[in-house]
Amino acid sequence: MTFELSHFSAAVVFAACASTVFGITQRNTTRDMLRYGAYCFALFVGGVIVASWAMWLLKH
Amino acid sequence: MANAQNTTAVGGRTAKTPAATTSTMTILAPLAGWLLPGLGHFIQRRWIRGLLLMLAVFIMFFAGLGMQGRVYAFNTGDLLDILGFVGDLGAGLLYFIARAMDWGAGNIQRAVADYGTKYIVVAGLLNIVSAADAYHIAIGKKQ
């Protein structure tokens, strides 16, 4: 079974899985886990968007 | 020696103290967590955390295979290939099953296959982090 993901969707799936593990393992309380997981997810996806625009600007 | 310290005589029989259970769990939890993602949390009754960790690692690993990523075999070649093998090995049983089933041959003609290779490596690394977390719960450093 193979499937095709776009660059962005691949980055979002990666961010979701990594953020879940980081949130659970790096914090002690449920509330902190959720907050840290969301923070990591936002940084992952935000980093992808910033890097994408930076590359677009470099090209143009 | 540790077992001798952790057992007490109760009515002529020896009974395990909580310290002995903790000592066993400190070995069992990370080992189980490495072998099967989330199992280290399950055996310590952290059901939801274990399930979420299992889902995260499984999704990354199988998404990597679905994208035709490469599963590294043991090698003594290029440094990045050796590190790839070490990362993949972190997935425990998933890695051995993938090798046994001959999954993860890789496909250099697809750009997204390289993402798949990274997905599989990161799934292994995240599983190692999860196993370390199971160990921290076992020693009481974390709830």
pLDDT 10s digits, B64-81? 999 999 999 999 989 999
Q: Give the other-Cβ count within 10 Å of B97's Cβ.
A: 12
Residue B11 has pLDDT above 90, yes or no: no
Tell me how many residue pairs between chain A and chain B have CB atoms under 8 A apart: 60
The whole-angstrom distance between B6's CA and the closest CA on chain A is: 28
Q: Is B57 within 8 Å of A17 when comparing Cβ atoms?
A: yes
pLDDT 10s digits, A22-58? 999 999 999 999 999 999 999 999 999 999 999 999 9
B88 interface with A at CB cutoff 8 Å: no
| Both tokens assigned to A13 | 């799936």
Q: Give B90's contacts in chain A (Cβ within 8 Å).
A: none
The whole-angstrom distance between A35's CA and the closest CA on chain B is: 15
Residue B9 has pLDDT above 60, yes or no: no
Query: Which residue of A lies nearest to B53 if distances are taken between CA atoms?
Result: A21
Q: Give A24's contacts in chain B (Cβ within 8 Å).
A: 49, 52-53, 130, 133
* Nearest Cα to Cα of residue B33 among B87, B91, B108: B91
**Token pair 């980093």 in the structure block, residue:** A47
pLDDT 10s digits, B29-51? 999 999 999 999 999 999 999 99
Domain boundaries, chain A: 7-59
Query: Which residue of B lies nearest to A2 if distances are taken between CA atoms?
Result: B66
Residue-wise burial string across B99-131, b where 16 or more C-beta atoms lie within 10 A, e elsewhere: beeebbebbeeeebbbbbbbbbbbbbbbbbbbb
Nearest to A24 among B53, B60, B122 (CB): B53
- Residue B25: predicted pLDDT: 94
pLDDT 10s digits, B87-140? 999 999 999 999 999 999 888 888 889 999 999 999 999 999 999 999 999 999
Q: Is A20 within 8 Å of B53 when comparing Cβ atoms?
A: yes
B9 by DSSP, 3-state: which?
A: strand
Query: Which residue of A lies nearest to B59 if distances are taken between CA atoms?
Result: A17
